Amino acid sequence: MTLEPINSEHLPAISPDLLMVRRGQASWQLQHLSERLLRWMRIPAEQLRGRSPLALFPQAVPPLEELADEVLEQGLDLHDVKVRLATDQPEQLADIQFAGLTEDYQGQLVRINFRGETIASRLETGFRNLIGSSPAMHEVFRKIRLYGASDAAVIITGETGAGKELVAQALHAESARHDKTFAELNCTALSEQLLESELFGHERGAFTGAVREHRGYFERADGGTLFLDEIGDMPLHIQSKLLRVLEDGRVQRVGGERSRQVDVRVVGATNVPLEQAVAEKRFRADLYHRLAVLRIHLPSLRERAEDIPLLAEQFLQQFNAKYKKGVQRLTSGALRLLQAYLWPGNVRELRNVLERVVVEAETEAIGARAFTEWVRERQQFVSPTAVPSGDNPQNLPVAVAAPLGQGAESAHTADLDVAPRMLGRRAELTEAMIRAAYLAAEGNLSAAARRLGVHRATLYRHLQRLQLSRDDLS
């Protein structure tokens, strides 16, 4: 059966690549193809109209009919969907939209527009290992290119899990030092004595246990870049020694009597406002001015929610390869759920939850229901909003994403609309929150940190602030 042409007034202003029509419960049929698709298929238009998309594109992944059905069932358009029309063609990004009903032909219309670009080419709009097409990330990319040629110290600011280490690696890769060592050290992961030894090295016999001489990170990174994560929490004693190295380029080992010349570019990262730390005398003002010559702020994930589909696509590819899975995409309901959440753990948290659902996935498309268990956990263990204690007697965090209905594919739309404005605000962890997470994790601090949506080092910092030990938590 060949359908009659639809009047041009019912076509979108910009002609779609594909216009599909369905009357009632009948199968989908092609009603319109763009000139570029006609040229690619090398078939006259009159021989295509009214034919089944499955017959013309038998190797399409995902099938075009399934995408059209999803648009109608969900009542929402699909954007950034990865589609391959044939095995010998590259994947392309497509937008699938409901085009309404026609007056002259009472059918349901769905239009599909291809971007004309592959997934890989779109990811190149990112930079190095950083992914994002948002204006905030473009500014980060611009500064990395600009600062890469300099040897001046750089401070990278941003929340835990935002990807500050990737920015430091990109700076190194853009510099003339790219073929030299890139070394990284977390300033909160070691005790003060060990941190000093790891940074500057030590001589044999410098302290108990120093049975041999040890080259520190400054010596090992000579000619390259040294990335100091969580530099805002560095002890004051070590800050003084770091300042001397930055000023004269010479490092003296613990227990040593002579200094060694080194050529190291220092890149520091912090989620602590250094200006506030200086005002509170927790960070040396002279070191602050020496370090903060150049500055890059990495936005939180909630500040660039438009990058979530792109990040999700990248992570799906990684985990498909790692776990031998065949997940093709997230449904629109799943993406809406992820974009409604405020991500206190940022990109690291997004990566972790996607790894989890990919491992559990048994279908090619992951829907919102796959995140049900994760949503319940987040409702219990993410930073709370301002809720009166009487309404929250256990002092547990309130919900940070809309609850999923029984058997529902997507989250409640009304709740998702509210979530970005009122849920998941950052707050200091309280003793009750930490204890609840610690007990739920059966005494595992790493698991407790994950439940709280923070890095393990951040949890240790809060324990020190509250002067809590494991015994206190138990």
Domains of the chain: 8-117 (3.30.450.20), 135-297 (3.40.50.300), 304-427 (1.10.8.60)
Cα three-residue angle 75-79-80, rounded to 5 degrees: 150
* pLDDT digits 0-9 by tens, 137-192: 888 998 999 999 999 999 999 999 999 999 999 999 999 999 999 999 999 888 88
Residue 471 has pLDDT above 70, yes or no: yes
Alpha helices in 75-163 (DSSP H): 119-123, 135-148
Tell me the mean pLDDT in the region 419-424: 29
Tell me the mean pLDDT in the region 270-286: 92
Structural contact between residues 380 and 306, judged by C-beta atoms closer than 8 angstroms: no
H or E element that contains 32? strand 29-33
Task: Check residues 271 and 389 and name the one with the higher pLDDT.
Answer: 271
- Output 42-46 pairs: Cβ under 8 A, ≥24 positions apart: none
Structural contact between residues 397 and 377, judged by C-beta atoms closer than 8 angstroms: no
Q: Taking the CA atoms of 101, 61, 338 and 144 in sequence, report the sign of the dihedral they define.
A: negative
**Among 88-102, 220-234, 261-275, whose mean pLDDT is lowest?**
88-102
Residue type (1 letter), 163? G
Phi, psi torsion values for 110, nearest 5 degrees: -130, 130
Task: Check residues 30 and 47 and name the one with the higher pLDDT.
Answer: 30
Structural contact between residues 4 and 105, judged by C-beta atoms closer than 8 angstroms: yes
**Among 227-231, 349-353, 413-417, whose mean pLDDT is lowest?**
413-417
Residue 382 has pLDDT above 70, yes or no: no
Q: Which residues of 141-155 are buried (b: 16+ CB within 10 A; e: fewer)?
A: bebbeebbeeeebbb
Residue 41 has pLDDT above 50, yes or no: yes
> Residue 420 burial by CB count (10 A; 0-12/13-18/19+): exposed, middle or buried?
middle
Residue 46 has pLDDT above 80, yes or no: no
Distances (CA, A) of 107 to 14, 32, 111, 113, 354: 20, 14, 13, 19, 38
Tell me the mean pLDDT in the region 5-11: 38
Tell me the mean pLDDT in the region 209-227: 89
Residue type (1 letter), 198? E
Task: Check residues 371 and 411 and name the one with the higher pLDDT.
Answer: 371
**Among 362-366, 407-411, 467-471, whose mean pLDDT is lowest?**
407-411
Note the pLDDT of residue 22.
83
Per-residue confidence band for 422, with pLDDT thresholds at 50, 70 and 90: very low
Note the pLDDT of residue 23.
77
Note the pLDDT of residue 60.
82
Question: From the centroid of its chain, how far is CA 450?
Answer: 16
Task: Check residues 339 and 397 and name the one with the higher pLDDT.
Answer: 339
> Residue 468 burial by CB count (10 A; 0-12/13-18/19+): exposed, middle or buried?
middle
Residue type (1 letter), 256? G
The residues with which 119 forms a beta bridge, in sequence order, are: none
- Establish whether the linkage from the previous residue to 62 is cis, with ω within 30° of 0: yes
* pLDDT digits 0-9 by tens, 107-126: 788 888 887 655 444 444 56
Note the pLDDT of residue 184.
95
Q: CA 246, CA 263: separation in Å to the nearest integer?
A: 10
3-state SS class at 267: strand
Q: Which residues of 238-260 are buried (b: 16+ CB within 10 A; e: fewer)?
A: bbeebbebbeeeebbbbbeeeeb
Residue 416 has pLDDT above 80, yes or no: no
Task: Check residues 80 and 129 and name the one with the higher pLDDT.
Answer: 129
Note the pLDDT of residue 371.
93
Q: CA 457, CA 185: separation in Å to the nearest integer?
A: 12
Query: In angstroms, how far is the first alpha carbon of the chain from the final one?
Result: 73
Residue with tokens 């990319």: 141
Q: CA 202, CA 214: separation in Å to the nearest integer?
A: 5
Q: CA 318, CA 330: separation in Å to the nearest integer?
A: 14
Note the pLDDT of residue 88.
64
H or E element that contains 260? strand 259-261
- Whether the model clears a pTM of 0.85, i.e. scores above it, the answer is no
Structure tokens at 176: 């003339």
Q: CA 90, CA 324: separation in Å to the nearest integer?
A: 21
- What is the residue-averaged pLDDT of the chain? 78
